[in-house]
Every structure is written in C-alpha cells, then in structure tokens.
Amino acid sequence: MKKVRVVVIGASGYIGGEAVRLLLGHPEVDLVAVTANENAGRRLDEVQPNLRGYSDLVYSKEWPEADAYVLSLPHGGAMEVVPKLKGKVVDLSGDFRLKDPAVFERYYKTPHKAPELLKQFATGIPEINRGRIRESRLVAAGGCFASAAILSLHPLRELAAGRVIVDGKTGSSGSGSKPGEKTHHPFRSTSFFAYETFHHRHTPEIEQASGLEVLFQPHSTPLVRGVFTTSYVPLKRAMTDDEVLALFRQAYGNDRFVRLCKGTANVNHVKGSNFIDLGVAAHGTTAIVFAAIDNLVKGGAGQGVQCLNLMFGLPEEAGLLAPPAQP
C-alpha cells in the first residue's frame, strides 16, 4: 500500500514538533517536508535534537504538493494558508474550530479571513465525530482544554440540569515555545494563577460541541506537559458513581484512547501519549468528571494524527500506541 505523503506546516513549535515526531514513527506515512519561517534552511534535528537519527529533513518556507497537510501555525496563520492547499488538511490551531464567524471575532478579536470555510471543517475530536471526520477533506483538531472538557461532558449532555462549571489547569508548553511575560520559566516555575476569566477561547468551542452552557476557568500551573480539567455537572436526577461510570463505558467502551476509572485521573499517567484518562464521581444530583491529557499529544498533535488516520481509512491508532512515560 502506498504511504500517505504528508507535510507539516509550522513544524518548529511544540505542537508542530510533536506532529513531526509522531509522523516520523507512523508506519503508513511518508513525511516529505517540514516548513518554518525563522528556521528555514536549518536541519530538523538542529531545532529538534530529540529527533537526531530519525530524519535528514531541512526546514523550508515553501511546501510541495502532498496528500495531506498538518498545520501548526500561530492564530490567524491557517486561515491564510488553507485556501491555497489542495490536499486534505488537519489544522491544529483555533482558526477553524468555531462555526459562527461572529463568535470567532468576539473571542479571537479579529474578523475571520475565510468565513466561507468554517462550516466545511469537521470538528476534530474522533470519539464524538468519527463519521464526519472520515468523510471530510478539512478537519479542525480540538483544542487542549476543549477536548478534555468535551469528552468529559459528552456522556452526560442529556442529563445535565443547568450550567456546567469546568475548572482547568495547564502546563507551560501550552503557551508555545516562545516565552511571554507570564509564560517564561522564572515567572511560572513556582506560580499558580487563573487567567482569561469569562472569555477564554475554548469556552465557545466546548459549548458548541456539548450543547451545554459552560462556565470555564483556566489556570496556569508549574507543569510543563499536561491539562487537567474538573467538570462539575448538575444532574436531573440523583446518580451513583457506578451509574455515571456505566454511562461513560457505554459512550466510550470501544474507544482505544479513552481510559476510565472511578475517582481522579492524573496527568502523569498520560504524559507523552494520546490517551485521555477520565475519572468520575457522583453525589446526589451532582457529578464530577476529572480528565487528564497530554496537551501536546491528545490535546494537539496526537489527536491531529488520529484524525488523519480516519481521513485516509487507516487504523485509528496507527502511529499512536506508544505507552505513556513514567515518571
């Protein structure tokens, strides 16, 4: 079988780098090019020394024709590039996650430059949208916080009795490879704080996919990798832990990358992997769902590769079954 020719556009950041790492180990993919502006002309392993011995690729500013393109560009970059591409596209940024251009402009503070494409993009969370992803040429992989929250809420969406509260924690790699005032190590290494109260960009993404009203509050933690969300769900009727866990088993029993348990999940148990660990608890008419993911893998490049597999009729787990690292 002929391998799928793939280009990663924007391959020198953390998520783009993870896409490269995963695709180099993918048995059905030929990674033919990697692009980057500032690093154009440099060898891949100069920028990503963890990949020494895996590839002789050199970063370029242009891309060749390919079967598929994985985009990991800064916000606003994908909407400029996607109209120029003829192959299948998996976008790892937020440019095409929201379907309503007015909502996009409200949360991203800029008009969308390709609004006609928004509804053409499938929501790239395979566990809830597998059929549409298989049929699509254009897929917008879910955001890190949003993916954890959406998968936490999906089995309970018909039982929720009101607004859901999602409390999120993230590691520093979620802010990208270029340090900012509140993301560089000396500031963040011993800090814990909230940010973007009431207007985080993942809020409308969670609401769009879950159909629920959501209050989402993110927090910065001293972690490097990891997203942990705690979702508080008011229920229409009293439920036990076992009843809630049964709902989640019914929803995700056949999903390779969802692992379920009673009680809390732990980000250390998913680090470096494409798994999401979901833990549940219930008391009376309140359910609590804990979710742990690696923000760069299941919350980024790994989910993108999972979508790519579906788009090309490949095994969904291809290139993604390396177990989490410990410690």
Residues with a catalytic annotation lie at: 144
* DSSP secondary structure letters along 120-152: GSEEE-HHHHHHHHHH-SEEEEPPHHHHHHHHH
* Direct distance between the N- and C-terminal alpha carbons of the chain, in angstroms, rounded to an integer: 38
Torsion angle (degrees, nearest 10) of CA 231, 129, 276, 17 = -120
HSE of 2, CA atoms in CB hemisphere, 13 A: 6
* DSSP secondary structure letters along 176-245: -SS--TTTSHHHHTT--EE-STTT-THHHHHHHHH-S-EEEEEEE-S-SS-EEEEEEEEBSS---HHHHH
Cis link prior to 327 (omega < 30° from 0)? yes
Question: Among 300, 301, 268, 13, which residue's Cα sits nearest to residue 144?
Answer: 300
Question: Among 87, 24, 33, 14, which residue's Cα sits nearest to residue 54?
Answer: 24
- Distance, CA of 16 to CA of 4 (rounded, Å): 18
The one-letter amino acid code at 132 reads: R
Beta-sheet strand order (sheet of 214-220): 193-194, 214-220, 164-170, 227-234, 286-293, 276-283, 258-262
- Distance, CA of 209 to CA of 211 (rounded, Å): 6
- Distance, CA of 239 to CA of 160 (rounded, Å): 12
Token pair belonging to 79:
């909407």
